[in-house]
């Protein structure tokens, strides 16, 4: 039985056209049309709330507190990739800081998402590069323990495959399977149009949720024929 190498260099990425389109949507819109799934735990948040990222996932799995494989991933990733790092949610030591993130920016990566701690917060704010993390810790990492690159990972409680579409903003991060991503774009367009129409209706004074009475009856809160 053959075994995959720990480092997979060649992956199939979601197309640049889909990435460009996806970047025009809120993560919440994409999460809704994707079935309200694929969102990372709220612990994975942008360092600054106006940070946004969209691109294909370049996945990295590390042991808690060790960033050896992240250095290798930075050397292998392509411009436009989003490093998505499964740091096991550990916040006892930082996996990245200003030096590594500056290199990511210089190489043209779209951003970095770390389910783990990072450090150098104020310098990262000045860097102007999208970074999402589970927290901060001044302690540095070790560089001894092997991990894996471009294997399926779990980050923020969500499965991420190499090449999947990753979109992040102030609300958090959503991951959509590469094969499904193109079909989600038309659904997202419709969702945006529907929400814009609803906002216009609310502005005219139509604040009632027309679906609510039926939902309350189905839940047993209202009896048949009863209304709010």
pLDDT of residue 131: 98
pLDDT tens digits for range 52-77:
999 999 999 999 999 999 999 999 99
Q: Is 1 annotated as a binding residue?
A: no
Tell me the C-alpha distance between 223 and 151, whole Å. Answer: 52
Tell me the C-alpha distance between 147 and 11, whole Å. Answer: 17
Q: Is 98 annotated as a binding residue?
A: yes
Question: What does DSSP say about strands 131-136 and 148-149: parallel, antiparallel, or unpaired?
Answer: unpaired
* Max Cα-Cα span within the chain: 68
Tell me the C-alpha distance between 19 and 16, whole Å. Answer: 5
Tell me the C-alpha distance between 164 and 18, whole Å. Answer: 11
pLDDT of residue 33: 97
Angle at 151 between CA 11 and CA 103, to 5 degrees: 70
Instruction: Give the chain's residues under pLDDT 50.
Output: 1
pLDDT of residue 2: 54
Query: Which residues 6+ apart lie within 8 Å of 220 measured at CB?
Result: none
Q: Is 120 annotated as a binding residue?
A: yes
Task: Please tell me whether the overall predicted TM-score, pTM, comes out greater than 0.85 for this model.
Answer: yes
Closest of 187, 185, 193 to residue 167, by C-alpha: 185
pLDDT of residue 40: 98
Q: Is 119 annotated as a binding residue?
A: yes
Q: Which residue segments constitute the domains of the chain, with CATH numbers given?
A: 16-185 (3.50.30.40)
pLDDT of residue 1: 45
Tell me the C-alpha distance between 95 and 80, whole Å. Answer: 21
pLDDT of residue 6: 95
Count helices and strands (H / E) in the chain: 7, 10
CA dihedral 131, 134, 137, 141 (to 10 degrees): -80
């Amino acid at each position: 039985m053959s075994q995959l190498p720990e480092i997979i260099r060649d992956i199939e990425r979601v197309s640049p056209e889909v990435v460009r389109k996806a970047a025009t949507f809120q993560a919440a819109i994409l999460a809704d049309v994707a079935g309200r799934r694929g969102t990372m735990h709220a612990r994975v948040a942008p360092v600054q709330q106006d940070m946004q990222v969209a691109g294909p996932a370049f996945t990295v799995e590390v042991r808690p507190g060790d960033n050896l494989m992240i250095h290798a991933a930075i050397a292998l990733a392509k411009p436009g990739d989003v490093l998505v790092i499964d740091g096991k949610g550990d916040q006892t030591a930082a996996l990245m800081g200003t030096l590594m993130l500056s290199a990511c920016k210089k190489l043209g990566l779209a951003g970095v998402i770390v389910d783990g701690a990072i450090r150098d917060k104020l310098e990262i704010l000045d860097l102007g590069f999208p970074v999402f993390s589970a927290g901060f810790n001044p302690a540095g990492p070790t560089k001894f323990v092997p991990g894996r690159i471009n294997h399926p990972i779990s980050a923020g409680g969500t499965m991420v495959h190499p090449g999947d579409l990753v979109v992040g903003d102030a609300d958090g991060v959503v991951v959509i399977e590469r094969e499904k991503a193109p079909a989600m774009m038309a659904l997202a367009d419709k969702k945006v149009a529907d929400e814009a129409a609803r906002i216009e209706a609310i502005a005219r004074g139509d604040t009632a949720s027309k679906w609510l009475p039926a939902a309350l009856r189905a839940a047993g809160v209202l009896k048949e024929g009863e209304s709010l």
